[in-house]
Chain A
Amino acid sequence: MLADLLPEVSDAELEQFRQIMLTQYGLDFSGYAPASLKRRLGSVMKKYGLPTLALLNHRLLTQPEYIKYFINEITVSTTELFRDPPAWVALRLQALSFFSSLAEIRIWHVGASTGEEVLSMAILLQESNLYERAQIYATDIDEVSLEKAQSARYPIRLKRLYKQNFHQVFPTIPFEKYVQEEGNELVFDKTLLKNVRFLKHNIVTEAPFEEFEIILCRNLLIYFTPALQDLVVTKLVESLVTGGILMIGTKESLFWCTAAKRLAAINDVERIYRKRR
């Protein structure tokens, strides 16, 4: 009876899934927190009417063209413009000024998803007269989301929320300075993406590719086990210049991360840290 209600994800099938992803696609899911991974797998199985994970595994083995869409379905792409506005206010007021004298500011959005935070950062830089000096990298394992990010177009139903968030960060600047309506879409000023490079990159398995002044990795660590959080945060801290900024999600914690001792909190509530000298 329970099995009818809840698509069964047995440990053996889950292990088989991890093996397929690793050996066929080079994607390591062994460090993903089981509760949400099982839930995501369950919802994909439901969507395609597959009663067992074994059938989904078979599909992944026999239909390699499906992987791009599967990654989009299994990863969580939820994001928004200026999500957690107080965190962006804190970033603007407490951190950006560290870099105002630099000729180049390198910024990495890890798990950039559909790009709203990349646009948030670009607007923040623009309003601080720092955009022209910025080199922004936006990476994700989900190509479908990255394609959306590059279009900088979003459904009009998000307007109210995005505008509200925007005005919490910039109370006196008109939202329309950066955003226009076209039919059913909100279209962001494309010049905000002028200095942005979108790259497919897997933070779990791939090495970092640059040194950065600022790294944003928000609401990605929550999908990882403590052990993988430790590994990923170590990579991020090693990719920061001394004095560089790491910003994570406001409910994420560095409790399990050994690299936390190399960081000092700039704002503990908003989870903004600076690499120690």
Chain B
Amino acid sequence: MKPQGREVYLWLMGGSAGSFNPIRSFLHQMPYHSDVAIVLCLHRLRSPRMGMIDAIGYLKGWEMSEPDDKTVIQGGHVYIAPADYHLLVEAEGYFSLSVEEPVHFSRPSIDVLLESVVRARWKRAGAALLSGANRDGAYGMYLMHQAGYFTAVQEPSDAEIPTMPEAALNLFEPRVRFRRESLVKVCLQALTLSV
């Protein structure tokens, strides 16, 4: 049986404009890990339901879904924050959704997701922040960093729109700055360090 709940390593990825293609190619190259859940929090249009799963396409090994409220977190799974809801992680090992106000005009908000991971004192987690046109995610990444989690921020010069990674780098120096082609290596490094 796959690990679930608090035993799972959470690899959290946040991004907005310009992040979809690097994340998509990361997902297609990332080797399957049964004890890792990849959680994507990407700014997106309000209305589409499930469209992102089709846009990412089939992933070898990994299951992919937009979690319902109180879905138990399972390893070997890619979770996509549903449109128009904040996605939060609960210490008990499942997701919660919320429709509270957008943060930085964003729902889902990367800050809200990352803050919930810190508050839940999740055992093993790491986060990467990619290209985007606003400041969402910077504060959450800083929280993750301060709480001792692995953090990685895309080099602004490599980001299609550098506002989001720059906002994070203005707050702190992450463990790693990366270029898109090394994202898989960065994730594997985070996993190695967490053992």
Contact = CB atoms under 8 A, between A and B. Distances in A.
Interface stretch (B54-62, B114-122, B125-133): B114-122
Contacts of A78: 99-101
B143 A39 contact: no
Interface size bucket, B side? 20 to 34
Given A76-B99, A222-B99, A34 B91 contact: yes
A250 B48 CA distance: 13
B99 A33 contact: no
Contacts of B85: 222, 251
A160 B61 CA distance: 43
Interface residues of A, number: 28
Contact of B118 (A1, A6, A36): A6
Contacts of B4: none
Contacts of A6: 115, 118-119, 143
A252 B92 CA distance: 18
Interface string A207-250: 00000000000010111011001000000000000000000011
A222 B143 contact: no
Contacts of B116: 35, 39
Interface string B84-95: 011011111010
B34 interface: no
Nearest to A9: B119
Contact of A229 (B70, B88, B92): B70
Q: Which of A40, A222, A229 has the most CB of B within 10 A?
A: A222
Contacts of A1: 146
B99 A256 contact: no
A221 B97 CA distance: 10
B146 A36 contact: no
A36 B91 CA distance: 12
A77 B25 CA distance: 38
The 7 closest A-B pairs by CB, nearest first: A35-B88, A253-B68, A78-B99, A2-B146, A222-B69, A76-B100, A35-B116
6 contacts: A2-B146, A35-B90, A76-B100, A222-B99, A251-B68, A251-B82
